[in-house]
Structures are given as C-alpha cells and as structure tokens.
Amino acid sequence: MLTLLVGTSRPQSRTRRVAEFYATLLDELGAPYQFLDLTDLPADLLTEALYHNAGRHDEFNRLIAPLDQSDKLVIFAPEYNCSIPGALKTFIDALPYPGGIRGKKAALVSLSSGGQGGLLALSHLTDILFYLGTSVLPQRVRLPHISQHLSKEGEITDPLLRQVLREQAEALLSW
C-alpha cells in the first residue's frame, strides 16, 4: 500500500489537487493507495501530541495508523518561505521515534509559484527523511509555476510535468 501524504494543512490546497492527480496515475498503473491529508491534523497537535505526550494523542494516533500499512509514501510538499510547511515538519516531529516512517521508501513532489519549483523545500525534506532512516527515491519532482500548470479540476496541463510525475510513480512502484 502506498500513502499519498498531502504536506500542508491549508484547506482546498493546490497540493491536494496535485496529490489527486498523482492518484489518477496510480489508478492507471493499478497501484493501491490511501491519502493522509494534513488538513486532518488535530487542532491541539502542538500542545498535546509532542514531546512528553508523544504516542498518547488518540486523534493523532488514528490519523497516522494507516502509515503502518504502507511501505512507500509520496510526500507532496509545497514550498513555504523557501522550505516545507510548518505543519509538515510538526507532523514529522510528532511521529513515533524511532519508527514512524523509518525504513519506508518515499518519493517527493514539491510545488511552488516560483521558478525553482520548491527546490529548497525538497532539499530540507530530503535531509529530514535521511536522518529518520527513510529512503528517498532519486527522482524527486519539482513543479514550478504551479498556478500556470494546474487546472481548477486538478489536471496537470503541462505534458512534461505529467510525464515526469508518471515516470516517478513507475519508478516508485518498481523500487
């Protein structure tokens, strides 16, 4: 099972639409998947699920339980202030340690309004995942100028971006 992790808590985000587009690719490839969307994070995550409370927050534990069924992840990380969203970092910090996503394989997709496509966000996220013992697929995908390439219906309109996403999905499935 694959988990598609929507790495922002922003409601109705472009990140979710990109993840849904990726899901259509997985459907075409016959791969089962599930979503884990950070819009579902508990409101009291910062005060009640970290540090001395790790592992004791029932709502957070229910949210992350599907990760146990996944050996592979696709993490969709929008670029926020030249890095990943704070919600994604907090989510990762709240995961059981060691454990959580240790030993899993991850494909990374970043998106941004700018021309770099989230390059720094990918770099930061890769470093975090390596530290946690998560393997990262070398084919990391950057989606620059996302507003120009993502329709309101959630279609990636640029043929090259569609191709690199599909190639990444194929590589992840065969890994």
Q: What is the DSSP annotation of 149-170?
A: HB-TTS-B--HHHHHHHHHHHH
Given a cut of 90, whether residue 171 has pLDDT beyond it is yes
Listed residue (25, 21, 24, 19) closest to 3, CA to CA: 19
pLDDT for the residue 16: 97
Given a cut of 90, whether residue 55 has pLDDT beyond it is no
Runs of H (alpha helix) within 29-154:
45-48, 58-64, 86-94, 119-132, 146-149
Given a cut of 90, whether residue 22 has pLDDT beyond it is yes
pLDDT for the residue 7: 97
pLDDT for the residue 53: 85
Longest dimension (CA), the chain: 48
The residue extents of the domains of the chain are 2-174
Residues in the chain: 175
pLDDT for the residue 119: 94
pLDDT per position as a tens digit, 66-84:
999 999 999 999 999 999 9
SS3 assignment, position 156 = strand
Task: Give 6's contacts (C-beta < 8 A, 6+ positions apart).
Answer: 13, 15, 16, 19, 35, 36, 37, 38, 39, 76
- What's the mean pLDDT in 164-174? 98
Listed residue (115, 90, 106, 119) closest to 171, CA to CA: 106
SS3 assignment, position 7 = coil
Percent of the chain at pLDDT exceeding 90: 92
pLDDT for the residue 24: 98
Given a cut of 90, whether residue 90 has pLDDT beyond it is yes
Residue appearing with tokens 């013992």: 133
Given a cut of 90, whether residue 43 has pLDDT beyond it is yes
Task: Give 146's contacts (C-beta < 8 A, 6+ positions apart).
Answer: 14, 18, 111, 112, 113, 117
Given a cut of 90, whether residue 51 has pLDDT beyond it is no
- What's the mean pLDDT in 103-132? 96
Q: How far is CA 50 from CA 53, 90, 157, in A?
A: 5, 9, 40
Q: What is the CATH number of domain 2-174?
A: 3.40.50.360
98 — pLDDT class (breaks 50, 70, 90): confident
User: Position 92: which residue type?
Assistant: I
Spatial separation of the C-alpha atoms in residues 37 and 132, rounded to whole Å: 20
